[in-house]
Amino acid sequence: MEQRVFGGTGRQVPVLGQGTWQMEEDDRDEAIRSLRAGLDLGLTHVDTAELYGHGRVEESIVSEAVAGRRQEVFLVSKVMPSNATYAGTLAACERSLKRLRTDVLDCYLLHWPGSHPLEETVRAFEKLVADGKIRSWGVSNFGVAELEELVELAKPERVACNQVLYHLEERAIEHAVLPWCEARGIAVVGYSPFGNGRFPRPDSPGGRVLEAVARAHGVTPRQVALQFLVRRPSLFAIPKASRVAHLRDNAAAASLRLSREELARLDAAFPLGAYSDELPML
Residues near ligand NAP, by CB under 6 A? 19-21, 26, 47, 111-112, 140-141, 163, 191-197, 222, 238-243, 246, 249-250, 281-282
Residue 18 beta carbon to ligand NAP: minimum distance, rounded to whole angstroms: 8
Q: Which is nearer to ligand NAP, 197 or 218 (CB)?
A: 197
Residue 266 beta carbon to ligand NAP: minimum distance, rounded to whole angstroms: 17
Gap between the terminal Cα atoms of the chain:
28
**From edge to edge, which strands make up the β-sheet containing 107-110?**
45-47, 74-79, 107-110, 137-140, 159-165, 187-191, 235-237
Q: Which is nearer to ligand NAP, 8 or 200 (CB)?
A: 200
Between 28-40 and 244-251, two packed helices, what is the crossing angle to 10 degrees? Answer: 20
Q: Which is nearer to ligand NAP, 227 or 242 (CB)?
A: 242
Q: Which is nearer to ligand NAP, 131 or 165 (CB)?
A: 165
Clarify whether 52 is annotated catalytic: yes
Residue 130 beta carbon to ligand NAP: minimum distance, rounded to whole angstroms: 25
Residue 62 beta carbon to ligand NAP: minimum distance, rounded to whole angstroms: 10
User: Please, which residues have CB within 8 angstroms of residue 79's CB and are 6 or more apart in sequence?
Assistant: 50, 88, 89, 92, 93, 96, 108, 109, 110, 111, 121
C-alpha dihedral, 142 to 143 to 148 to 152, nearest 10°? -20
User: What radius of gyration do the chain's Cα atoms show?
Assistant: 18
Q: Which of 52, 108, 166, 191 is catalytic?
A: 52
Residues acting as catalytic residues: 52
